[in-house]
A and B are shown apart, each in its own frame.
Chain A
Amino acid sequence: MKIDATDRRLIAATQSGLPLTAAPYDEVARWLKIEAAEVIRRLQALKDAGVIRRIALAPNHYALGMIANGMSVWDVNDSEVSVLGAKLGALDFVSHCYLRPRALPDWPYNLFAMIHGDTREQVESKRGLIAEILGDAAQSNDILYSTRILKKTGLRLAKNKG
C-alpha cells in the first residue's frame, strides 16, 4: 500500500494510542484538521492493507501478574518447521513465534518462541509443553531470560517526513 503524507500524520498521531473520549476519531480529525469520516476511512484502508494489525487494547502483562518471560529457541528440522511453528504460534502463552536463520557455528536455533507466565517455574513447564509438541523434530533447545532492560522505546515514526 502507498502511504501518503496524510496517512503518515495519522500514524504519527495515533501510534501511541487513541484519545479516551466518546468520539476518539473526531478528536484525531481535529488534531489533523481533516474530517472524522476521512480518519475512519483512512484507518480502515490501513487495516485492510495490513498496515494496522488490529485496533484494540494492549494489556500490560506485567501489571496483570505475567512477570516471567523467556525467549525459548529451538533447532527444528527445516522440513517441519513451518507446520510446527504454526502450532506454537497458536498457543495462548506464546506471544511471538518466528522462524529465523541459524548463525552457525555460534547459534544452531531457527525457531524462536517467547513464553510468558506468572513465574519462572510456569515458563519452564510451558517450555516442556513445547518440547512435547516439537518431539523428535527439535534437535536441541535453550531458553534465554532477560536479566536487564537496556532500552525500550518501541517504534516511533518521524513526524516530519512524508
Chain B
Amino acid sequence: MRRDPLPDNVLDKTDRLIINTLQDGFPLTAHPFSEMAGKIGLSEAELIKRLVNLRELGVITRFGPLYDVEAMGGAFCLCAIAVPAEQFEEVMTKVNAHPEVAHNYERNHHLNMWFVLATEHPEGISDVAGMIEAETGLKVLQFPKQEEFFIGFRVTA
C-alpha cells in the first residue's frame, strides 16, 4: 500500500467529491455506479473511469464490503511483546511466519512489537499466542477488545 502523500495537484475537485461521497456507502442495486454518478453529477462511465484511476494512484485501499471477522465467528486480538533489541529480527521472523498475524508494527515503547492475530475461531487466539511464546521464549500480552467505540473517522479528501 502506498505510504507517501500524493502531490497536491494530482486530484481535482471531482476526484475529492467522489472520495468523500463514496466513503459513506455504496448501494446494493443492479447499477450502483449509475445511481452514485447521478448524485455526484457525472456519467456512469466517467465515475468508473475516475475510480479506476484513483485505484491505480493508490488513493483507494479497498472498494467494496468491509467484513467483520468476529460477526463470522472468528476473532481478532491485539498482542504485544517486549523484544530485546538483539533478538528483534529473529522474533519478527518467527511472529510473521504465522499466517494468523494480520499486521505487525514496531513501536517506540518498552513493549516494542505490536501485532494483530486474526483467527477463524476464538480459541485460535490463545493457541497462536502460546505457539509464539514457545518459539520465542517471550511473554505475549493479549489485549482483546472488550468494547468498541465506533466510529466517527472520516478522511476528507
Contacts and interface: CB of A to CB of B under 8 A. Distances in A.
Interface in A92-116: 92-101, 103, 106-107, 112, 116
B69 A103 contact: no
Interface string A13-48: 011111011111110000000001000100110110
Nearest to B25: A56
Interface residues of B, number: 81
Interface string B63-87: 1111111011100001010100000
Interface residues of A, number: 79
B31 A22 contact: yes
Contacts of B55: 20
Interface in B97-150: 101-111, 113-115, 118, 120, 141-150
B103 A67 contact: no
20 contacts: A17-B64, A56-B25, A56-B63, A57-B26, A58-B60, A66-B155, A85-B149, A89-B148, A95-B151, A98-B145, A116-B153, A144-B107, A145-B108, A149-B104, A150-B105, A150-B115, A151-B104, A155-B102, A157-B120, A158-B120
Contacts of A59: 19, 23, 59-61, 155, 157
A65 B6 CA distance: 7
B103 A55 contact: no
Given A55-B26, A85-B149, A100-B146, A60 B2 contact: yes
A70 B145 CA distance: 18
Question: What's the dominant secondary structure at chain A's contact region?
Answer: mixed
Please list the 3 inter-chain residue pairs (A to B) with the smallest Cβ-Cβ separation, ordered nearest first: A89-B149, A57-B22, A18-B64
A51 B151 CA distance: 16
Nearest to B107: A144
A14 B65 CA distance: 7
Contact of A142 (B109, B149, B154): B109
Given A92-B152, A150-B92, A55 B5 contact: no
B90 interface: no
> Which has the most chain B C-beta neighbours within 10 Å: A14, A86, A154?
A154
A106 B111 contact: yes
Nearest to A94: B153
